[in-house]
């Protein structure tokens, strides 16, 4: 979910429906049965062959249920192309029985996941502040992503958006094998830009007893999230865009000349979950078949074992086919160990700010002034208004804890009318607080951060004049209201300010490492702009997605790792266009090793409370697209390396053979630490350990020398410390020895850096170590 965009009314609709038709949830649950890879090469198969695969699924399940006919009724997806498996409604005991079969990798419940704008490209150096694109920009070099197909798994797409107009586009690339499945929505259309759309709702439907009506038979985006993310990755350049007059400029995707496709897997939330595993797998299987180059996946769930995780499974099959998958890290920060999407074969993206603000000042009666941010359209008359704390304006029935947050049903219209209400951030959506204030008759809202969100202030399209201020300023405003007899305030209309410093800094909401599933793999991998991002939106709902919001806008400002993820997807599109033969791992390495850990004041990137951020927030750092096109060296990974990695994780040869045509032999001595990842993480160093990596030359011949910034209390030695590359494609192996300094180890995570340089390229890897 984009952060400020609550789908509360969707939730309410579902709850209402469930009140009328009890029970909503069936006794029998829906499951995914995962069988690994197919032995066929899907390109050579016809639909007859696919039907045969489906029959084999019926037969397999039939052997547990007694008949293929019963199996046929229970299976609602048969994954036939790349992913081998099916989704079915089953009794728990049967599911447990199936899980024991040697041909089965995993059986897991069809669980739900959550969805996790365009100055940002200038901030990353693709254009200058006048919108002039220098010849050295990756945009020019990569022809704006021409020929590339970028797709997302999301809430669908608003096809009427100018971001998806096909003006100036030639014929659809011949490699495209997808379709435009309009369902029962005659108004939906694809074109030469938006070349495909599909929707998957059977996994969602299996969680309800009420049948889905025709409004679910469409790839149309009635929420906004999917259109926003797809246009950020591959939307056209659309001039003259603003959000209520602010952020005026040209909206653009990272690969603006790419073709795009939409796979709708997310629907109105059921108990907060919007996108279900069975649908996600069906979408991956279709997208791999359809011929996409890049898949952008701004959704995730709680971390789970890899083969119980539809995103991990789907993207593994995608990566095997050379498709680069990009995922969001989640919006559960700033606590440690909150990141989702933790497998090594996709790029996991954190979120940070860019150098643009939408200042809206809060002026108090004592003339103290605080700079907040907002994208409110409404203006206050030019005078002071009484300001009241939400807790002083509460209904007798409401608790202080609910009232301070301006939750639904807490504000007393008699006390609020004509005043500015002071609300605290947290729990309910920021834009919902504004709506509650307006419904109670307030003229304005001051929204103050709590301590944990610190300096992270977000410009939202509030329904009333409002300003979001940081924690320390919030304390001052509370203090003024507490200590004044008749406190008054004024909120200025927002403006747009560019080139603000410091930028970037990490968003407080951005989920963090360490990796809770595979601690040896650092997550997130990278950070990109995800705060107040302007991109295309749905016109089915207002910009706050509140039922009450009757405004309709074509472009909206949204925040979340959902928004940073498609920035990387757009950049991947450019790199894929430049380097068609590179593996997904090589492209990821280029993005990671060329990232920066400095902000625009040339100081270390900070977190939202002004402490130095660490690789647990930003991975390798902030993306630098122009550098990524010339990384010099890359850390490459083959599919076989991933198999060895899975063996090292504890999957056995019987299980691995389900991915290959014959028996599989695990590399007995493979250590997870030695997966050729562009970062090095040793989560339990006792004494010393030696880690190996291999670098591949993708630039000119050259001599690279290593430079190490050792983590505190750890000695690092690299052998050899000079690598000479004579030709392109040449690979060189080296060893990194990490040793605990006697009596110096802190037993908490410490961070350093390893840099290989030929004087022109700087191939940087984060080092993350915890001594035991």
List active site positions. Answer: 154, 225, 562
Contacts to ligand NAG from residues 628-667, by CB under 6 A: 652, 654-655
CB of 37 to ligand NAG, least distance (A): 17
Shortest separation between residue 41's beta carbon and ligand NAG, angstroms: 26
Which C-beta is closer to ligand NAG: that of 45 or that of 439? 439
Residue whose entry in the numeric block shows the structure tokens 């608003």: 158
Is 139 one of the binding residues for ligand NAG (CB under 6 A)?
Answer: no
* Given 238, 437, 508, 568, the residue binding ligand NAG (CB under 6 A): 508
Report the run of H or E that residue 755 belongs to, with start and end: strand 750-757
> Binding to ligand NAG by residue 177, rule CB under 6 A?
no
Residue of 370, 537, 643, 749 interacting with ligand NAG (CB under 6 A) = 370
Closer by beta carbon to ligand NAG, 28 or else 475: 475
DSSP label of 279: H
174 binds ligand NAG (CB under 6 A): no
Span near ligand NAG by CB under 6 A; candidates 118-126, 315-323, 605-613, 696-704: 605-613
Q: Which residue in 49, 109, 217, 539 binds ligand NAG (CB under 6 A)?
A: 109
CA proximity to 494, closest of 667, 356, 689:
356
How many residues lie near ligand NAG (CB under 6 A)?
A: 47
- The only residue of 62, 291, 454, 615 in contact with ligand NAG, by rule CB under 6 A: 454
User: Positive or negative, the Cα torsion across 556, 560, 565, 571?
Assistant: positive
Q: For residue 214, state whether it binds ligand NAG (rule: CB under 6 A).
A: yes
Q: Which of left, alpha, beta for 64 (phi over 0: left; psi -120 to 50: alpha)?
A: alpha
* Rounded CA separation 687/96 (Å): 42
Residues 229, 607, 644, 679: which binds ligand NAG (CB under 6 A)? 607
Question: Which of 34, 86, 108, 664 is close enough to bind ligand NAG by CB under 6 A?
Answer: 108
| Contact between 42 and ligand NAG per CB under 6 A | no
CA distance 243 to 374: 11
Q: What is the DSSP string of 117-138?
A: --THHHHTTSS-TTS---TTSH
Q: Rounded distance, CA 375 to CA 4, Å? A: 12
Cα 182 from Cα 542, distance rounded (Å): 23
Question: Residue 141 CB, nearest distance to ligand NAG (Å)?
Answer: 36
Give the residue, chosen from 11, 13, 45, 165, that forms a contact with ligand NAG under the rule CB under 6 A: 13
At closest approach, how far in Å is the CB of 611 from ligand NAG?
A: 3
We find the least distance from the C-beta atom of residue 257 to ligand NAG, in angstroms, to be 37
Tokens 């993480």 sit on residue = 681
Shortest distance, position 482 Cβ to ligand NAG, whole Å: 4
Site for ligand NAG (CB under 6 A): which residue of 408, 600, 624, 660?
Answer: 408
User: Of 395, 386, 380, nearest to 418 (Cα)?
Assistant: 386
DSSP string for 20-53: HSS--S-SSEEEEEEEEE-SS-GGG--HHHHHHH
Q: Where does this chain touch ligand NAG (CB under 6 A) — which range of 139-147, 365-373, 551-559, 754-762? A: 365-373
**Smallest distance, ligand NAG to C-beta of residue 676, A:** 15
470 lines the binding site for ligand NAG (CB under 6 A)? yes
- The answer to whether residue 209 forms part of the interface with ligand NAG (CB under 6 A) is no
Answer whether 512's CB lies under 8 Å from 335's CB. Answer: yes
Q: Which of 201, 310, 455, 679 touches ligand NAG (CB under 6 A)?
A: 455
Name the DSSP class of 456.
-
Q: How far apart are CA 275 and CA 269, in angstroms?
A: 8
209 by DSSP, 3-state: which? coil
User: Looking at 54-62, 105-113, 485-493, 552-560, which segment touches ligand NAG (CB under 6 A)?
Assistant: 105-113
Q: In what order do the strands lie in the sheet with 149-154?
A: 194-199, 259-264, 149-154, 294-297, 324-328, 347-352, 526-529
- Give 89's contacts (C-beta < 8 A, 6+ positions apart): 26, 28, 29, 30, 31, 74, 76, 206
Among residues 179, 475, 666, 708, the one that binds ligand NAG under rule CB under 6 A? 475
Contact stretch for ligand NAG (CB under 6 A) within 44-52, 413-421, 609-617, 715-723: 609-617
If one asks whether residue 140 binds ligand NAG (CB under 6 A), the answer comes out as: no
Is 19 or 132 the residue whose CB approaches ligand NAG more closely? 19
With respect to ligand NAG, which residue has the nearer C-beta, 147 or 519? 519
- Told to check if 467 binds ligand NAG by CB under 6 A, we report no
Place of tokens 């690339």: 173
Task: Answer whether 200's CB lies under 8 Å from 264's CB.
Answer: yes
DSSP string, 556-616: EEE-SHHHHHHHHHHHHHHHHHH-TT--HHHHHHHHHHT-B-B-TTSSBPB-TTSSBP-HH
User: Which one of residues 273, 277, 435, 549 is an interface residue with ligand NAG (CB under 6 A)?
Assistant: 435
712 contacts ligand NAG (rule: CB under 6 A): no
Which is closer to ligand NAG, CB of 178 or CB of 454? 454
Residue 672 Cβ vs ligand NAG, minimum distance, rounded to whole Å: 7
DSSP conformation class of 455: T
684 contributes a contact to ligand NAG by CB under 6 A: yes
- Shortest gap between Cβ of 144 and ligand NAG (angstroms)? 35
CA distances, 702 to each of 235, 564, 631, 727, 759 (Å): 38, 34, 13, 8, 9
CB of 519 to ligand NAG, least distance (A): 5
Question: Hey, what are 442's tokens?
Answer: 């307030």
Binding flag, residue 608, ligand NAG (CB under 6 A)? yes
Cβ proximity to ligand NAG, 129 vs 686, nearer residue: 686
User: CB within 8 A of 46, min separation 6: which ones?
Assistant: none
- Please, which of residues 311-340 interact with ligand NAG by CB under 6 A? 334
Residues 48-77 vs ligand NAG: string with x where CB under 6 A? Answer: ------------------------------
Of 177, 379, 417, 479, the one binding ligand NAG (CB under 6 A) is 479
| Beta-sheet strands, E only, within 232-319 | 238-243, 246-251, 259-264, 266-270, 273-276, 294-297, 299-300
Looking at 30, 155, 308, 328, which residue binds ligand NAG (CB under 6 A)? 308
Strand, coil or helix: 551: coil
Cβ 360 to ligand NAG, closest distance in Å? 11
**Cα 749 to Cα 76: distance, rounded to the nearest angstrom:** 46
Question: What residue ranges bind ligand NAG (CB under 6 A)?
Answer: 8, 13, 17, 106-109, 213-215, 304-305, 308, 334, 366-367, 370-371, 408-409, 435, 439, 452, 454-455, 470, 472-473, 475, 478-479, 482, 508, 519, 548, 607-611, 652, 654-655, 669, 683-684, 686
């Amino acid at each position: 979910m984009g952060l400020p965009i609550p789908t509360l009314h969707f939730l309410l609709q579902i709850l209402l429906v469930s009140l009328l038709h009890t029970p909503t949830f069936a006794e029998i649950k829906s499951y995914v049965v995962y069988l690994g890879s197919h032995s066929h090469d899907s390109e050579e198969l016809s639909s007859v062959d696919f039907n045969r695969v489906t029959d084999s699924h019926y037969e397999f399940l039939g052997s547990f249920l007694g008949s293929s006919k019963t199996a046929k009724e229970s299976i609602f997806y048969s994954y036939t192309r790349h992913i081998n498996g099916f989704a079915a409604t089953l009794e728990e005991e049967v599911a447990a029985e199936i899980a024991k079969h040697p041909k089965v990798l995993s059986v897991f419940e069809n669980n739900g996941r959550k969805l996790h704008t365009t100055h940002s490209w200038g901030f990353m150096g693709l254009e200058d502040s006048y919108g002039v694109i220098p010849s050295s920009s990756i945009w020019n070099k990569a022809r704006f992503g021409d020929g590339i197909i970028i797709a997302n798994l999301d809430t669908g797409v608003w096809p009427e958006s100018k971001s998806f107009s096909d003006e100036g586009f030639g014929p659809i690339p011949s490699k495209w094998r997808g379709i435009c499945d309009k369902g029962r929505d005659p108004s939906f259309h694809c074109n030469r830009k938006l070349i495909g759309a599909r929707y998957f709702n059977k996994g969602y439907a299996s969680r309800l007893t009420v049948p889905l009506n025709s409004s679910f038979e469409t790839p149309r985006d009635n929420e906004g999230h999917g259109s926003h993310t797809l246009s950020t990755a591959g939307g056209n350049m659309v001039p003259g865009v603003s959000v209520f007059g602010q952020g005026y400029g040209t909206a653009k995707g990272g690969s603006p000349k790419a073709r795009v496709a939409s796979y709708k897997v997310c629907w109105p939330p059921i108990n907060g979950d919007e996108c279900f595993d069975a649908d996600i797998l069906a979408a991956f299987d279709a997208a791999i078949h359809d011929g996409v180059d890049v898949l952008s996946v701004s959704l995730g769930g709680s971390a789970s074992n890899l083969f119980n995780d539809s995103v991990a499974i789907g993207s593994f099959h995608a990566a095997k086919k050379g498709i680069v998958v990009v995922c969001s890290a989640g919006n559960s920060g700033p606590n440690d160990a909150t990141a989702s999407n933790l497998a090594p074969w996709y790029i996991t993206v954190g979120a940070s700010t860019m150098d643009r603000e939408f200042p809206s000042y809060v002026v108090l009666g004592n003339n103290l002034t605080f700079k907040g941010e907002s994208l409110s359209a409404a203006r206050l008359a030019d005078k002071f208004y009484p300001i009241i704390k939400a807790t002083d304006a509460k209904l007798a029935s409401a608790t202080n804890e609910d009232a301070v947050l301006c939750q639904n049903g807490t504000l007393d219209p008699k006390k609020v009318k004509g005043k500015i209400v002071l609300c605290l951030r947290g729990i309910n959506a920021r834009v919902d607080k504004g709506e509650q204030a307006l419904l109670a008759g307030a003229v304005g809202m001051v929204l103050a951060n709590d301590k944990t969100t610190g300096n992270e202030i977000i410009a939202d399209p509030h329904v009333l004049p409002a300003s979001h201020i940081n924690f320390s300023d919030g304390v001052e405003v509370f203090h003024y209201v507490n200590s004044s007899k008749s406190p008054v305030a004024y909120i200025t209309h927002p403006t747009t300010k560019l080139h603000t410093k410091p930028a970037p800094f990490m968003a407080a909401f951005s989920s963090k490492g360490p990796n809770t599933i595979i601690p040896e793999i650092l997550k997130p991998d990278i950070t990109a702009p995800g705060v107040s991002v302007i991109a295309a939106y749905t016109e089915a709902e207002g910009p706050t997605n509140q039922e009450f919001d009757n405004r309709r806008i074509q472009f909206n400002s949204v925040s979340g790792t959902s928004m940073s993820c498609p920035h990387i997807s757009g950049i991947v599109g450019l790199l894929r266009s430049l380097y068609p033969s590179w593996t997904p791992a090589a492209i990821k390495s280029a993005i990671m090793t060329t990232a920066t850990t400095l902000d625009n004041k040339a100081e270390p990137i900070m977190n939202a409370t002004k402490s130095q951020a660490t690789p647990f927030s930003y991975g390798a750092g902030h993306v630098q697209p122009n550098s990524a096109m010339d990384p010099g060296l890359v850390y490459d990974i083959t599919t076989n390396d991933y198999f060895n990695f899975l063996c090292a994780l504890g999957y056995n040869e019987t299980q691995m053979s389900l991915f290959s045509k014959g028996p599989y032999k695990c590399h007995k001595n493979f250590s997870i630490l030695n997966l050729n990842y562009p970062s090095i993480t040793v989560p339990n160093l006792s004494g010393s350990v030696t880690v190996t990596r291999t670098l591949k030359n993708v630039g000119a011949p050259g001599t690279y020398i290593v430079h190490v910034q050792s983590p505190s209390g750890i000695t690092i030695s690299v052998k050899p410390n000079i690598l000479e590359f004579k030709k392109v494609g040449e690979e060189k192996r080296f060893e990194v020895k990490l040793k605990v300094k006697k009596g110096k180890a802190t037993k908490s995570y410490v961070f350093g850096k390893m840099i290989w340089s030929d004087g022109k390229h700087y191939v940087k890897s984060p080092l993350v170590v915890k001594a035991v």
